[in-house]
Structure 1
């Protein structure tokens, strides 16, 4: 008769087999990723149905040879093949463009450039639309800056959208002075950039280029692109944009404040699983009566949950009424956070969870 110790021993043996299977899966996926790179170089399609059929046929024969059901083995390998095919396909990520913006830099900080296709979009709304329609599984948009405050276009889209926050990126905003090849600082008569970049670099410009005309354009990346068309011009933009358009950086960190950071959200149809170092973003609204906001926030204080941000936005359909955007530490599936959200729903007239995601820099 088997004892409990024998049962535990058998389970330990299964655990060891599982570890071997996982290691082999990792090796197979790594090989598939390398095959994907070769396919891209040869401009071959990712999916090869003849190869998949041959693999499944071979798996069936191997299974029967060792006494396993071939259909069961094939079902398992169909999932393995799908996982391997997934690493060969480029992940499509929409971002607020054009190319060379800080948002693209944020997207490249979150997603590995190898195997990722970055798709510029003209507006924040169009980034949301790309993800909502399934054209791209992810999107990246700015949400707030330490000096300029929140990006209201992003917050307003969340009110109308069912998309969730999958991740966040915090990026140090380093403005660069950029020139076209062959242009010197002494030649500069016009400085091109986005209005915010011009304002953030006011001290540098007044000290070194006081006589130059300041000309506003739609983005810092567009300013860099225009250097090839506007004579005697300089641009304020990103080092990435300078590389993309073949320009040269002559000064880095020209912004007035070294403490300028922009936070970005990674959009998806779902949020991120728990990591133990998470943050949650929500929207809520309360009745327009004394003490309503106090009672809403009390559910977090009572449970020792730290709030990292709270901000109000007007409800556009009603005068002088507001919704609140709030971030707190923890994941919505953590027991204490779940309890707080349930308590908030009993005290608020609207609670919308935007998502839980790893805190940037916590890994």
Structure 2
């Protein structure tokens, strides 16, 4: 669960002044390729304790560079080893010392890693910034294979650097106390009673539907719909899925006014019927059934009958059965590939139609 969702749930449960903080670390990774051409000659020219530096790279808010000592950097390893270090070039001051992870590899002729050393984790400090992070004995001269590591007298070193910087904290403060003043009642709700309710009591429920947000009164929704009463039993912020905002707006208007909307289009009536069935608003559902009864036709009757079966609409079902019982209509629907839909979507209605047809033929 996301922090915002968790905050919403806990505040809805009564912890209105809940604050929160998120603590995490930031990690950045960068890589750099250091190539030394003519390595044999370079190693002769660069004396013991002398280094060669790469260009700087930026990782984790700091600048870094690779320092390579072809003949070693300390008395113990001078003349026998290559020394390799990652140094901080910027010496940026930070509140917390970063943690560094280093991996350095020599590439073979095919560009594959053939020799690798790793520093799993080390915390940088002002002292280590200057000395760098790495190895006095990165690789001995005798282990440096001319065929494998020095193709065309070229030494290629790949360095991977990971910088884990200071902890960061995201803070979520408690919400400011709400100062409520009577708001204009929504334009989608009509009537003097609605206006009186809206001006007297502040809305205490927020409902998000289809990308829009509605506010309403809990007591009104719970009194009108047992489904909404159950949905709002644990929260004041409701999210309604699988419904258009316009449909819910019409539903809300009916809940407040008990006045059925003026619906003419079959598509709108279907959506509103499904919503009314979902929230057990019988009066609104019956209005939608009556509208759809007027739209029953050859090209829509099967889909309408399936809708009636799925949402327990006896008036609409009877209208569809009556239409299909008319001479020639059932045959025409079957010929138009409507039989499979009837069989799977409303088998009881299909059986009723077949029985009626058989009875007519026997008369």
TM-score range, shorter chain: under 0.3
- TM-score w.r.t. structure 1 length? 0.20
* Higher RCO, Cα 8 Å, sep 6+: 1
Larger Rg: 2
Output the TM-score relative to the length of structure 2.
0.20
